Structure 1
Amino acid sequence: MRRIRAISAFPTLFTLGNLVCGFFAIVAASRIAKPGDTFVPVPSPKLDSARELFLSPDPTHNVMLCGTLIFIAMLCDMFDGQVARLAKVTSDFGAQLDSLCDVVSFGVAPGILLVKMCPQFTQIHPMGIWTIAAFYACCTAMRLARFNVETDDEDDHSSFEGLPSPAAAAVIASFAIFSYKVRNETNFANFEGFDWWLQRFMPLVALAIAMLMVSRIRYPHLVTHMIRGQKSFPQLVAMVFVIMAVLTVGEYAIPMLCVLYALTPPAIHGWRWSWRRRHLLHRKAG
């Protein structure tokens, strides 16, 4: 048995911060009230302290809180790897710990959030939402295990095979935050119609992104592409526009950006496959 002699403290603290956020996201998800059951419109609270953030009078506040904690876990996950690589202290221990934490924050927590967000999906199938959430968590674990086995020291971390688990979790978390925003900015009658569609739409989205996680479609590593090398002027303008959109109307912009990231590579892959197939058929016909 080979013993661990030393552990890099700073990256490990970020990794454990990812796990802590995932754990509290599960706690917040467990407190989510069923949509439409106990909702009473109340003024949006001024969240001036951590206590007010966790103890809001709005019974649906935990939807937003769970989604927010998943995003904070994403930030911790993003920084731990970058810090470890910059400090040149990457290790097998850090890689394995990171994947274990990711299973909680980006597999279990989004799965429970999905179940809590979509109770009416049981009207379509009694165990449908539970099955989809469990399948999502399983795909996350398999995606992370495959990544650990196939990644070596020579990997430049410029792209991934399959949708990264943080990006998949971000899709579910962003729609949770968006749902809370819509609930508090529209009257309850209008929200009921939106919620009806959301509860039937999100499980299918979760099923799709679960399959994308275990696919072989290549996805760019956005952080690596942003911090490495020089950028053209149009790329810089696009980055500034995205940052301003997130800061100004984040609840609306983030879901669109997450879905765009998840669906653009499959769309390009499908178009290229279709083009090659048509080209091959054309050559055979000629």
Structure 2
Amino acid sequence: MINVLRRRDPEQRRLRRGMYLLPSLFTLANMFCGYACVIFAMRGEFSTAAPFIGVAVVLDLLDGRIARMTGATSDFGREFDSLADMISFGIAPAVLGYAWGLYTFGRLGWAVGFLFVSAAGIRLARFNIQTNANPDKRYFVGMPSPAAAGVPASTVFLLPQGLPTGWMAALALPLLLVPAALMVSTIRYRSFKTFNLNTRRPASALMIVALGIAAIVTYPQWSLVLVSYTYLVSGLVGLVWSRLRPRAGEDVQQVVSEPIVSEGPREV
């Protein structure tokens, strides 16, 4: 019996090592996608470079989920994930946007790209220190860097030939400036890390996922643009809605604070 337990211990240790290594492999693949995007963008092959950011987004979602499911979360994994995100969702989109259209603006173009890189670095650093301090895990404070990178990536994927010269070329500037500003803002964005299929109607949830996959496979360019820009606008819509919606506490306080006016005795 003791010999059997001794044989099992090395096998269990090897299994645990493999479980801790698996999320890091996904993070490493995420980093490779960012590097490949930079290489192909420098070559001018934008239709090939842009999808690498989309693949990096999927890998970034998977490595965290796999780490939590297998209990393989660690400080090394969190730091490694942040460094990979800085490459895939900070440097790669900036280089892609610059090579795609910002180069026509000279120094202004690479300055805008650097602002995007800086915003991504600030966003990731703030996320690392606010992970435990944020009580509501359903929302991000500021636009997540993967979603911000998806805006220029999906646009370049839709229009790999670039924008026409003239005033329309200036549309490449907000392509990086707007997501950069939203990353460092305090606008809340919905987090899908808590999303699961354990709903009362799992068949309906699976059909929604199937429709999304079918749309991306059939019309990948338009579907990815729709998803990325809808998520970008969702935070702004939520901000406006929270400002315009009356709060229940304020309504009750207003009713309580209103003086009760007596009509006095009526004349007979």
Normalised to the residue count of structure 1, the TM-score between the two structures is 0.73
Q: Distance in 2 between matches of 1:74 and 1:175?
A: 15
Verify the 8 A CA contact 2:31 2:85 in the aligned structure 1.
Answer: yes
Q: How does 1:29-68 map to 2 (within 5 A)?
A: 29-32=41-44, 62-68=45-51
Partner of 2:145: 165
State the shift of 1:253 in Å. 1.5
Distance in 2 between residues matched to 1:270 and 1:259, nearest whole Å = 17
Residues 1:140 and 1:154: Cα distance change in structure 2 (over 3 Å): closer
Partner of residue 121, structure 2: 141
Q: Given the alignment of the two structures, is residue 267 of structure 1 paired with residue 237 of structure 2, yes or no?
A: yes
- What SS does structure 2 have at the residue aligned with 1:222? coil
Alpha-carbon deviation of 1:75? 1.7
Cα shift at 1:73: 1.3
Work out whether 1:229 is the aligned partner of 2:198: yes
Q: Which residue of 1 aligns with 2:97?
A: 114
Q: Match for 1:253 among 223, 228, 231?
A: 223
Report the CA distance between 1:235 and its aligned residue. Answer: 5.7
Shift, 1:13, TM fit: 0.6
Cα distance per residue 1:69-105 (max 9 Å; x no partner): 1111112111110100000111111011100110011
Compared with structure 1, are the counterparts of its residues 196 and 98 closer, same or farther at alpha carbon in structure 2 (3 Å cutoff)? farther
In 2, the alpha carbon distance for the partners of 1:236 and 1:266 equals 28
Gaps of 5+ in 2: 1-16, 259-268
In 1, Cα distance between equivalents of 2:74 and 2:98: 35
The 8 Å contact of residues 101 and 163 in structure 2, kept in 1 or not, is answered as: no
Q: C-alpha separation between the residues in 2 aligned to 1:251 and 1:15?
A: 25
Q: Decide whether aligned partners of structure 1 residues 106 and 156 sit closer, same or farther in structure 2, where only a CA change above 3 A counts.
A: same
Structure 2: which amino acid aligns with 1:18? N
1:157–1:224 Cα contact (<8 Å) kept: yes
* Superposition deviation, residue 158 in structure 1: 3.1
Kept in 2: contact 1:117–1:199 (CA 8 A): no
How big is the shift at 1:16?
0.8
Work out which of the residue numbers 174, 179, 199 in structure 2 matches 1:204. 174
State the one-letter code of the partner of 2:40: A
- Kindly report the root-mean-square deviation, in angstroms, between the aligned alpha carbons of the 2 structures: 3.0
Tell me, in whole angstroms, the C-alpha distance in 2 between the residues paired with 1:165 and 1:192.
24
Task: Report the 3-state secondary structure (helix = DSSP H, G, I; strand = E; otherwise coil) of the residue aligned with 1:259.
Answer: helix
Query: Is 1:121–1:200's contact at 8 Å kept on the other side of the alignment?
Result: no
Q: Deviations over 1:26-76 (max 9, x none)?
A: 1111111xxxxxxxxxxxxxxxxxxxxxxxxxxxxx101111111111121
Q: Which among 41, 56, 61 is matched to residue 78 of structure 1?
A: 61
1:127-153 Cα shifts (integer Å, max 9, x gaps): 222121111110100100011111129
| Higher gyration radius (CA) | 2
Contact 2:141/2:186 (<8 A) preserved: yes
Q: Which has the higher contact order (CA 8 A, sep 6+)?
A: 1
CA contact (8 A) 1:120 1:199 kept: no
Contact 2:33 2:88 in 1 (8 A): yes
Residue identity (%): 30
Distance (Å, rounded) in 2 between the aligned partners of 1:133 and 1:276: 40
Q: Is the alpha carbon distance of 1:158 and 1:275 closer, same or farther for their aligned partners in structure 2, counting shifts above 3 Å? A: closer
Q: Tell me how far apart the structure 1 counterparts of residues 244 and 167 of structure 2 sit (CA, whole Å).
A: 32
Alpha-carbon distance change, 112 to 96 in structure 1, aligned in 2, over 3 angstroms: same
Structure 1 residues 192 and 68: CA distance shift in structure 2, 3 A: closer
Contact residue 143 and residue 189 of structure 2 kept, 8 A? yes
Measure the CA separation in 2 of the matches of 1:167 and 1:96. 20
* Stretch deviating more after TM superposition (208-217 or 135-144): 208-217
Q: Which residue of 2 aligns with 1:44?
A: none
| Segment of structure 1 superposing worse, 99-108 or 148-157 | 148-157
Amino acid of the structure 1 residue aligned with 2:237: A
- Aligned residue pairs, count: 235
Q: Distance in 2 between matches of 1:19 and 1:200?
A: 30
185, 190, 200: which one aligns with 1:220: 190
Q: 1:205 to 1:274 in 2, by over 3 A?
A: farther
C-alpha displacement of 1:230: 0.6
